[in-house]
Structure 1
Amino acid sequence: MTTDNLNSALSFKHLFSKECLSRGESPIKTTMKYFLDPEFHFLGAGMPPLELFAFQNFSFKSLDLRKYTFNEIQDLILNKNDKFEDYINGDIIEDELDSDILIERALQYGNSRGHPSLLKFLKTHINNTFKPIYKDWDILVNNGSTYGLESLLRIFCNPQDTILLEDLCYSSTIEAIEAQRINTVPIKMDSEGLVVEDLEYKLKNWETLYGDLQKPKLMYLIPNGHNPKGVTLCDGRKLKIYQLLREYDIILIEDDPYFWLQMPQYKKPSLKDNQFIDENKPENDINSNQDFLNKLSHSFLSIDTDGRVIRLESFSKYFGPGTRLGYLVGSKEILDNVWNYHEVSLQASSGISQLMVNGLLNRWGQNGYLNWFKRLRVVYTQKRNFCLNSLYKHIQQFNINEYVQVEEAPKAGMFFMIYLNINKHPDYNQKLTELGKEKVVAYFENLFFEKFIQAKLLLAKGSWFTVNDPCHSVIDISKCMLRGTYAAVTPEKMDNGLKIFAEIVNQEFN
């Protein structure tokens, strides 16, 4: 389908904040097009000269996976200790590639939307992967998803506006929202993500449930490898969610940093002759890029006819958080207004980060980029499987099945969640009487957290991620939650840490 057959996005100016509507285009920004014209006598902006830039060249080294099949990548990781032999050595000056960002451009003011070569690569990547179905979608480079969210809150929300969140949410997201005095309303989740029935019920009965609270302008969710819950929103729910957002005129912020960390279904280990047997087998049905893409969930971009979905993309989980580089995908109207905000905040994302990331991507090509994600799939699957196998092993060995529940195995991302059945703790009834319902969960959460810390084990408190409902209590007083990660942990430390967890739970409950 060509863009000629597609409709343009709707205008959502009526949802913009007062701050956004009061902000115009930067007058200096409108002149930057002349800077690129070599015949222009550009005396209008305070730009330092190239000869005084301290850096004269940039080079990098990275794995070169372009020639590998998925099966070859998987075999090297599982059977040969991840020992790849092919590398790319990039040199921005010596290589003289047309796709490279010139150093004098990377280190200079300007290009606050992102450097054209990088934007071109990313637009092709998004189109190949998600195939947006309206005409005027665009990309805007930024400093990562956290900054992208903060920008969108400024674009859409006035103080006391309302945003819908999943009932568990990344703690920094909650803090960013509360700092702007925006109300939050949680929507229930289960093992398949956001519960559509709860969303529909709250939207239909808003006045009854929430009185004068402003109706929501935005909904924010993490569809894959949810942080902290670890679950993935099933594709079957997405169309109904989108239809409800259209009906109630709500913008969706789709924060999806774990999209390319999707994994096959996990199988619990079996027990035979007192030995735990790993039941997870290597994948053997990915023979092409399309086979790989068919394994992945769908983005809301793929069903967005209105331009009401804004997708947050980030390189943090794929290339390294220190790149501080990400981008927004959404309608041009919305991104133009975010761009105006960039001009008075970050101005532009790091030119050095863009130069390096762009240089690597264009040497890899689209196929090499997908192969990098295939490598991530195999490595994260290996990490997740080891973690959960170890967890179930120690739960069984210490006989604490009655006291521990493990959330649905992650199908994406880097997090797993454990629930402790605190109502079975020998001190529970006494503490419930002493402290009451409002404080009993916090008491046991703190109790276990401190005992874990004393034993040199860190698991994040579930309360750090809990979204409070302004009108209704949603606390389950029978459980407390703990979030763990298997991402940057060696197998030895993972196994020992989970053994410590099981030992302490056993000591406390027995």
Structure 2
Amino acid sequence: MLSEKRGDAIDLSHHLSNVARARQTSPLKGLQKWMGKPGLISLAGGLPNAQYFPIASISGELLAPDSFPLKTEPEESSLSWFWKLFSRSDKERTTTFTVDKYPKHPGDLNLATGLQYGMASGLPQMKEILHEFVEKVFQPAYGNWTTLLHTGNTDGWGKTVQTILNPGDGLIVSEWTYPSALAGARPYGIKLVPIGMDAEGMSSAALRKTLAEWDESTRGMPRPHVMYTVPIGQNPTGTTMGLDRKKEIYDICVEYDIIIVEDDPYYFLQEGKYVPKSERVSESDADDETFLARLAPSYLKVDYQGRVIRLDTFSKTVCPGSRLGWFTCNPMFAERLERAAETSSQAPCGFTQLYVTSLLMNWHYDGYIRWLKALRIQYKGRRDYLVDCFAEEFHLQQSISTQGYTAGAQVYYASLKPKRSFIPLSEKDVAYSKPLFSFVPPSSGMFVWIELHLEDHPSFSSLGYKALEMKLWTDIAEAGVLFGPGSMFSATPVDDDTPGHGHFRISFSNSTPEELKKAVTIFGTTLRSFMKH
């Protein structure tokens, strides 16, 4: 693929919003193109003198890229190894970097440039790193793609909304999706168009049906021309969309002329299918090429027209406080997005760019891939541990779903175990409750999405599932555990008359094993009490 001749993006400028069309180069930022001219004496801009920056240098210690293991044993999960690592008495292996105020050699990172007013596109060293990374990892299917820095995917999405959507436009989204993305679009008068889901995320059949049957007079708006999607670690359901489904959806988007905004913060947290504790085998290391080939690819890999705007972030792979990420898109969109940045965020924080660029220059491409491989294993261990806790606290039965957003997935149905008895009982004599919740173990991301089944609650007929969802959520919170209420993730407003079930989103990314275990125990105790009154 990398050696093939690829065509350039087609003209998609008709997708630009009225605001994007009206943007002009910032009068002062437009002078930046002259700044690289040798011998130029610039008296045009109000650039503070670097010698008055009160910082002589910055430095830090970087973890070695192989700080975490690539192989786990079934009896010792990567999670337990994680806690062993940080309880060791010996110091972590680190390397030190320093960035001086002025460069000692051409191309050196330096504070005089990094902390100065800069181009919205970011430091040239970072752009070079990102170009190599995108080319090798995501492999765009057209030739003239480019990258542009932003200050995290929330910022990237906000700029994208302003660039390709007008008030009153429709926005295609999954029926369950990331609420902050919806909150960022609604104030601009954007109307949501929810699409049904299955075990891989957005359903291509449901998408085609919606577009083919679109009636502008009935809907009160033109057929939508933009799609927002989180295809890997779908938030909140944790599904992973494979290559074939992406091809199906991409072909539909070509047919109906739709721009795909691919928000992909969890791309490298593809944990794979959950395997029960008793059935696990050791996971061996794979070389970099095999590791990348096993990952579900980006939409960029099938994007031969340049209709994908991809949002990447360092929030999940380095740290969220960096507030740093990047677009990958065709140069027409990139130029308009850069104009939007010039008069808003401008360039991402200079300190952040210097620190993250220093990290990646120290690790090099191979080192960063090594880090990402281990990161996937770490979160896989966390996912496994939380689901193992569910298996210990509840009785789990498996069944293949045939309908709804779980269609085609193996669903775990959770029932309350009977209270302990002095009389040993065989499995067939144990009286379990009816399933009170169900879930599909996530194959990517940081969350378990559970569906509540509270039909046997004494107040179900009078209160309904929405009120019971919030009542149970409140009881759990008062007991000391906070879940994400499910209704906030619905692309369709949920009221008392909305059919369906309650849901919770449960994170496994940041708590200790002891906290996860305790949380599940509290959930079980609270649920048992809740069903009685």
- TM-score normalized by the length of structure 1: 0.91
Structure 1 partner of 2:99 = 92
Tell me whether 1:261 sits opposite 2:277 in the alignment.
Answer: no
Q: What is the alpha-carbon distance in structure 2 between the residues aligned to residue 20 and residue 240 of structure 1?
A: 30
Q: 2:231 aligns with which of 212, 223, 233?
A: 223
Displacement of 1:2 in angstroms is 6.5
Contact kept in structure 1, 2:458 and 2:531, CA below 8 Å = yes
Confirm whether residue 428 of structure 1 aligns to residue 450 of structure 2: no
Q: 1:444 aligns with which of 452, 468, 471?
A: 468
- SS at the partner of 1:146? helix
What does residue 436 of structure 1 align with?
A: none
Task: Say which of 419, 435, 447 aligns to 1:403.
Answer: 435
Alignment correspondent of 2:519: 497
For the residues of structure 2 that align with 1:45 and 1:481, how far apart are their CA atoms? 54
Aligned partners of 2:199 and 2:239 also within 8 Å: yes
Q: CA deviation at 1:209?
A: 9.2
- Note if 1:132 corresponds to 2:156: no
The CA deviation at 1:412 is 1.2
Corresponding residue for residue 275 of structure 1: none
The answer for the alignment partner of 1:419 in structure 2 is 451
Structure 2 CA distance for aligned equivalents of residues 386 and 69 of structure 1: 17
How many angstroms apart in 2 are the aligned matches of 1:184 and 1:67?
Answer: 43
Task: Quote the residue 1:82 is aligned against.
Answer: 85
Alpha-carbon distance change, 386 to 482 in structure 1, aligned in 2, over 3 angstroms = same
| Structure 2 partner of 1:61 | 61
Cα distance, 1:362–1:295 mapped onto 2, change above 3 Å: same
How far off is 1:500 after superposition? 0.9
Larger deviation: 88-97 or 371-380? 88-97
- Which secondary structure does the structure 2 equivalent of 1:165 belong to? strand
Query: Residue type of the partner of 2:486?
Result: G
The answer to whether 1:465 aligns with 2:489 is: yes
Higher relative contact order (CA 8 A, sep 6+): 1
The question of 1:476 aligning with 2:525 is answered no
The secondary structure found in structure 2 opposite 1:423 is: coil
Letter in 1 for 2:479: A
User: Which residue is 2:280 aligned to?
Assistant: 280
Residues 202-228 of structure 1, C-alpha deviation per residue, up to 9 Å, x if partnerless? 000011894332211210110111111
Question: 2:162 maps to what in 1?
Answer: 154
Q: Is contact 2:146-2:334 (8 Å) kept?
A: yes
SS in 1 for 2:62: strand
Closer, same or farther: CA 96–387 of 1 in aligned 2, 3 Å: farther
Displacement, 1:68?
8.7
| Matches for 1:12-411 after TM superposition, within 5 Å | 12-37=12-37, 39-65=39-65, 70-71=70-71, 79=81, 81-82=84-85, 85-93=92-100, 100-207=108-215, 210-269=218-277, 278-284=278-284, 286-396=285-395, 398-399=416-417, 402-411=434-443
Asked if structure 2 preserves the Cα contact closer than 8 Å seen for 1:383 and 1:487, the reply is yes
Secondary structure, aligned partner of 1:154: helix
8 Å CA contact 2:78–2:377 kept in 1: the answer is no
**2:215 aligns to what SS in structure 1?**
helix
8 Å CA contact 2:2, 2:135 repeated in 1: no
CA contact (8 A) 1:224 1:232 kept: yes
Structure 1 counterpart SS, 2:292: helix
CA deviation string 1:232-255 (max 9, x = no partner): 123321111000000010000000
Which ranges in structure 2 are unaligned for 5 or more consecutive residues?
396-414, 418-431
Residues 398-452 of structure 1: CA deviation (Å, up to 9, x unaligned)? 3276233332211111011111112222211233xxxxxxxx3321121111101
Q: One-letter code of the match for 2:247?
A: L
Structure with greater helix share of residues: 1
Query: Does the 8 Å CA contact 2:72/2:282 hold for their aligned counterparts?
Result: no
**CA positional deviation for 1:283:** 1.0
Give the Cα separation in 2 of the matches to 1:465 and 1:150.
18
Cross-structure match for 2:510: 488
Kept in 2: contact 1:395–1:401 (CA 8 A): no
Q: Which runs of 5+ in 1 are unaligned?
A: 270-277, 432-439
SS in 2 for 1:25: coil
Q: Is the Cα contact below 8 Å between 1:76 and 1:82 reproduced in 2?
A: no
Q: Distance in 1 between matches of 2:67 and 2:467?
A: 55
CA contact (8 A) 1:266 1:280 kept: no
Q: Secondary structure at the match of 2:55?
A: coil
Counterparts of 2:37 and 2:77 in 1: how far apart (Å)?
Answer: 51
Cα offset, 1:87, TM superposition: 1.5
Letter in structure 1 aligned against 2:452: L
Q: Is the Cα contact below 8 Å between 2:69 and 2:374 reproduced in 1?
A: no
Matched AA of 1:33: K
Q: TM-score, normalised by structure 2?
A: 0.87
Which of 470, 477, 485 is the aligned partner of 1:453?
477
How big is the shift at 1:75? 9.0
Alignment partners' CA distance in 2, 1:100 and 1:194: 45
- Identity score, percent: 28
Cα separation, 2, equivalents of 1:401 and 1:419: 16
Name the SS for the 2:262 alignment partner: strand
SS at match of 2:171: strand
Q: Map Cα deviations across residues 286-325 of structure 1 (whole Å, 9 max, x no partner).
A: 3311121122111100000000001100001111111010
For 1:473 and 1:209, the matched residues in 2 are separated by 28
Q: Contact between 1:57 and 1:91, CA under 8 Å: does it hold in 2?
A: yes
Is this contact kept in 2: 1:69–1:287, CA < 8 A? no
The separation in 2 between residues aligned to 1:97 and 1:398, in whole angstroms, is 67
The match for 2:412 is none
Give the letter aligned to residue 375 of structure 1. A
Q: Secondary structure of 1:311's partner?
A: strand
Amino acid at match of 2:210: K
